[in-house]
Structure 1
Amino acid sequence: MEFFYGVAFYGVMDNLVTYLTTAMRESNAAAARGVSTWQATCFLTPLAGALLADSCWGAHRTMLAAFSVAVAGLLMVFLSALVPLLDKSSEAAAAHMGASRPEIVLFIGLYMAAIGLGGLRPCIMSFGADQFDDGDPSERAAKASFINWYVFIMSCSSLAASTAVVWVRDHHGWALGLSIPAVVLAAGLPCLIAGARSYKFQRPRGSPLTGICQVVVAAVRKFHVAPPADSSLLYNLLEDDDCAIKGVQRIEHTTGLRSFDKAAVVAASDTEAAAVEPGRRNPWRLCPVTQVEEVKILARMLPVWVTILFFYTASAQASSTFVEQGIAMDVSVGSVRVPPATMITFFELSIIVLIPLYDRALVPAARRLTGREEGIPALLRIGVGLGLSVLAMAAAALVEAARQGTPTSILWQVLQYAGVGAGEVFTTVGQFEFFYGQAPAAMRTVCAALGMLDMAAGDYLSSLVLAAVQWATSAGGRPGWIPDDVDQGHLDRFFWMMAGLGCVNLVAFAGCALRYNSSRPA
């Protein structure tokens, strides 16, 4: 499912800016805005898809609906390229059709696809992980391996889209090139249906956001109430008819974040309400300890989520400043000219090569050394990935310093691209395992979506950092660190700045990780 999804998503994304500027004849600025807006939508819709899966339909039904919507949207994208070909025999027919008609069809299709793909992205990983029994040690280890191969397939699909789909587009036109994402994604739907009898299904337990809001509102209402020293006095009855927490396993009370405990304090008003209507409670005034503890788990994970974000700010340089650096380098390797944008292939290849080594060699060796089922704890994996991104930024800075005034082969960039790719292996795998493994059962799909939102937020932060750096360094008519002509700028200073910020972020992450482990119940 992930491969079908990845080829469809990247097959459109990698071609979209070129399609808008050539076939749709948009300006570079308008095309860039259109692509950025669509990408932002694709990164935001997974949260809505996750909420729908966890609260109403379940992951399987959500994926079935999402597949249908996404395929319909991609077919419209394909039609936007096909219709002009069918009508080009007559200028009058083209004029009657209207010059903007294909563009309208395109953008309707794009945003239908964004909605459908958003429903697929968080559900594929969480639904796959749901197939493993956490009560079985061998299946827990297999689930960790599944997450490793999930990231591996992400990179394989991206590589296939950026090579095969682009080649078809260049050699056989837009209509055939844009038909591939729709056809490939459509092939995934019967595969998903075929395995329905063997899947394990998690029952949706109501909107997780509703449960979170209930705890916050109840705690605020009892702001002046002090939680009791004896936690057994807190309300901890799991009611069978309460759809918000139905089927949830009991979570024992933990110390820390005591302000949330106020939501479980049985106040006089709660006792009076129960006397009027026995067996009922107002969930916006009184919440069970289990529901409160779910909110505490999320609150403890948020600082970790924030500190992971900067990794994706650094990795975003692979498709922006690394490419600008490559343009100014010697792109000739013997008789072959290497386009700077294709150097990102080394980023994908490093992931494809390292994941099997990671899963089949490093993790089993770590299991033997540490005696832990997961081999390397998820937070330690993330920390290693953050450290590798710092080294990649330092490598880019050294290459840029060596390049100044000296013809330098573009192959020196392999180190920085491979460094970011290696960091992706540790950080992304560790992040998915952390958010899924630590999340309450009712919120696993939402937490998987939060992990993906880290990627989107990192891209947004990268744009802000680049704009801020250029604004601050180009004052007074100076070219700045990142001018149009990089030979007049100081990309090396920018990369050193990113490495320095990465070190600060790594220290912050280590503090958050240690605090998370110390506050987590045994």
Structure 2
Amino acid sequence: MTDNDIYTNDGTITIKNERAIRSKTGNWKACPFILGNECCERLAYYGMSTNLVNYLSDRLNQGSVRASTNVSNWSGTCYATPLLGAFLADAYLGRYWTIASFSIIYFFGMALLTLSASLKELQPFCDADSCHPSSTLTAITFVALYMIALGTGGIKPCVSSFGADQFDETDVKERKRKSSFFNWFYLSINIGALFASSVLVWIQMNVGWGWGFGVPAVAMAIAVVFFFSGSPLYRIQKPSGSPFVRLCQVVIASFRKFNVKVPKDKSLLFETTDAESQIVGCRKLEHTEKLRFFDKAAVETDSDSGKSKNNPWKLCTITQPSTAK
């Protein structure tokens, strides 16, 4: 058997930073842990957020308008933080460590929210007309909510891609299995959301907010356990560095060669000679005819020899942002 039969060919490694062995890692052996993590995380998120307006209105005495505004602001933050999570995963941490670290932040946020709704010392004084929360309770609640918003920002953009990393794109059989993974992935999301929007809402309205937030917190704890349990089986893509730095390299290299003419034959543009991209974990991109000015960054000149050939601020491959377009 050759190395191509034993190891994956897409550059993935194991948690021990060793080259991933095809028969021992990834595929459906690793996916149940990822699917379990996603199902429990979505259950926790929707279980906590679906009825959040009622909680802020009822227990924190914010009124419907103010509560709705605060929930909208929080929800918007939940959809903005994935930009940070995706950047950190791609550039520096990798998907595994991004999911792992942000999941822990997420859990502590859920635990703090549960404590704020459960501890007798923090409960608001309620009369016949309304409840009167302390400033401490309000502060703890919003700290917890925005910890959750930060936590979901590291999970949301990475989990589906991390699942896809478990299948080697260069292998025909594994490429077909990847499509099935996404079917199961979205099924797990909907199972979690269904349970949260029905059973957990009923618990919150009929049993109490402590239990209503406690169950999602436990679900998030299970999600963390699920994810770490599969660590020995995961295939991990190395982070590829900051895309913003690569973009700047292309722009600067293009302007340095402002007077250089781009050849009509795209094969004359600079690119690595092997099958892999110069960017770790990425495949080569197809060249297009748009924004041809930035192709100047990939034009080799007489000065691009020796050390300059390894200097991306002077000579870029077609794979880099704006060169491949």
| TM-score normalised to structure 2 length | 0.77
CA contact (8 A) 1:79 1:105 kept: no
Distance 1:16 1:37, change over 3 A: same
Amino acid at match of 1:148: N
Contact 2:278 2:317 in 1 (8 A): no
Q: Which has the higher contact order (CA 8 A, sep 6+)?
A: 2
Whole-angstrom distance in 1 between the partners of 2:281 and 2:165: 16
Report how far residue 5 of structure 1 moved: 1.4
**Distance 1:103-1:264 versus aligned 2 partners, 3 A rule:** same
How far the C-alpha of 1:198 sits from its partner, in A, is: 1.4
Please, which of 191, 198, 220 is the counterpart of residue 233 of structure 2? Answer: 198
Q: Which structure 2 residues correspond to residues 3-82 of structure 1 after superposition, within 5 A?
A: 3-82=39-118
Distance 1:88 1:256 in 2: 61
Cα distance in structure 2, aligned partners of 1:145 and 1:101: 48
Partner SS, residue 206 of structure 1: coil
Q: Tell me the residue number matched to 1:245.
A: 279
Structure 1 residue 116, shift from structure 2 partner? 0.9
Contact 2:89–2:239 (Cα < 8 Å) also in 1: yes
Counterpart contact for 1:212–1:295, Cα < 8 Å: no
156, 162, 167: which one aligns with 1:121: 156
Q: Which residue of 2 aligns with 1:166?
A: 201
Deviations 1:221-254 (A, max 9, x none): 5455431123343222479xxx982464444644
Mapped contact 1:263–1:292 kept (Cα < 8 A) = no
1:263 equivalent in alignment to 2:292 = no
Q: Is the 8 A contact 1:56 1:204 kept in 2?
A: yes
Quick one: structure 1 residues 88 and 200, their matched pair in 2 at CA, closer, same or farther if it must change by over 3 Å? closer
| 2:185 counterpart of 1:150 | yes
Structure 2: how far apart are the matches of 1:39 and 1:252?
Answer: 37
Q: Distance in 1 between matches of 2:124 and 2:90?
A: 51
Q: Deviations over 1:39-71 (max 9, x none)?
A: 111111112111111112211111110111000
Q: 8 Å contact 2:114–2:210 — kept in the other structure?
A: yes
Partner of 1:330: none
Instruction: Please give the alpha-carbon distance, in whole angstroms, between the structure 2 residues aligned to 1:74 and 1:50.
Output: 22
CA distance in 2, matches of 1:162, 1:33: 21
Aligned equivalents of 1:98, 1:32: Cα separation in 2: 18
In structure 1, what residue type is equivalent to 2:46? Answer: Y
Asked whether the equivalents of residues 102 and 152 of structure 2 are also in contact (C-alpha less than 8 Å), the reply is yes
Equivalent position amino acid for 2:79 in 1: F
Q: Output the CA distance in 2 between the equivalents of 1:235 and 1:90.
A: 70
What are the superposed Cα offsets for residues 237-290 of structure 1, whole Å, 9 maximum, x if unpaired? 479xxx98246444464444423312212356xx17x57xx3565423431122
Q: How does 1:323-402 map to 2 (within 5 A)?
A: none
> Does the Cα contact within 8 Å between 2:125 and 2:133 map onto a contact in 1?
no
- Paired with 2:151 and 2:123, the residues of 1 have a C-alpha distance of 31
**Cα distance 1:17–1:137, how it changes in 2: closer, same or farther (>3 A)?**
same
Q: Deviations over 1:373-427 (max 9, x none)?
A: xxxxxxxxxxxxxxxxxxxxxxxxxxxxxxxxxxxxxxxxxxxxxxxxxxxxxxx
How many percent identity over aligned positions? 39
TM-score by length of structure 1 reads: 0.50
1:132-183 deviations in Å (ceiling 9; x for gaps): 1222223222211211221222222111111011011111111110112211
**Whole-Å separation in 2 of the counterparts to 1:172 and 1:260:** 62
Conservation of the 8 A alpha-carbon contact between 1:78 and 1:175: yes
Deviation, structure 1 residue 184 = 0.2
Q: Distance in 2 between matches of 1:11 and 1:247?
A: 36
C-alpha distance 221-4 of structure 1, shift in aligned 2 (>3 A) = farther
Q: 1:175 aligns with which of 210, 230, 235?
A: 210
Distance 1:188 1:118 in 2: 15
Q: CA RMSD in A?
A: 2.9
Q: Is the CA contact (8 Å cut-off) linking 1:70 and 1:117 kept in structure 2?
A: yes
Could you tell me which of 136, 140, 147 is aligned with 1:112? 147
- CA distance in 1 between counterparts of 2:301 and 2:45 reads 52
Alignment of 1:95-494 (within 5 A): 99-223=134-258, 225-237=260-272, 245-246=279-280, 248-251=282-285, 253-267=287-301, 271=303, 278=307, 281-292=310-321, 295-296=324-325
> Which amino acid letter does the alignment assign opposite residue 313 of structure 2?
W
Query: Are 1:215 and 1:263, in contact at CA under 8 Å, matched by a contact in 2?
Result: yes
Specify whether residues 224 and 9 from structure 1 end up closer, same or farther in structure 2 by C-alpha distance, changes over 3 A only: farther
Q: SS where residue 320 of structure 2 aligns?
A: helix
Secondary structure, aligned partner of 2:50: helix
**Deviations 1:477-508, CA, capped at 9 Å, x for gaps:** xxxxxxxxxxxxxxxxxxxxxxxxxxxxxxxx
Name the CA shift for 1:174/1:295 in 2 (closer, same or farther; >3 Å): farther
Q: What amino acid does structure 1 have at the position aligned with 2:80?
A: L
Distance 1:244 1:107 in 2: 44
Instruction: Flag structure 1 segments of 5+ consecutive residues without an equivalent.
Output: 92-96, 297-522
- CA distance in structure 2 between the partners assigned to 1:294 and 1:172 by the alignment: 59
Distance change (3 Å), C-alpha of 1:38 and 1:244: farther
Provide the C-alpha distance between the structure 2 equivalents of 1:90 and 1:134, rounded to a whole number of angstroms: 59
Q: Secondary structure at the match of 1:122?
A: coil
User: Could you list the runs of 5+ residues in structure 2 that have no partner in the other structure?
Assistant: 1-36, 127-131
The residue that corresponds to 1:319 in the other structure is none
Q: 1:156 to 1:230 in 2, by over 3 A?
A: same
On the 8 A contact 1:80/1:102 being kept in 2, the answer is yes
* Stretch moving more, 165-174 or 254-263: 254-263
Which amino acid in 1 is paired with 2:245? T
Asked if 2 retains the 8 angstrom alpha-carbon contact of 1:264 and 1:292, the reply is: no
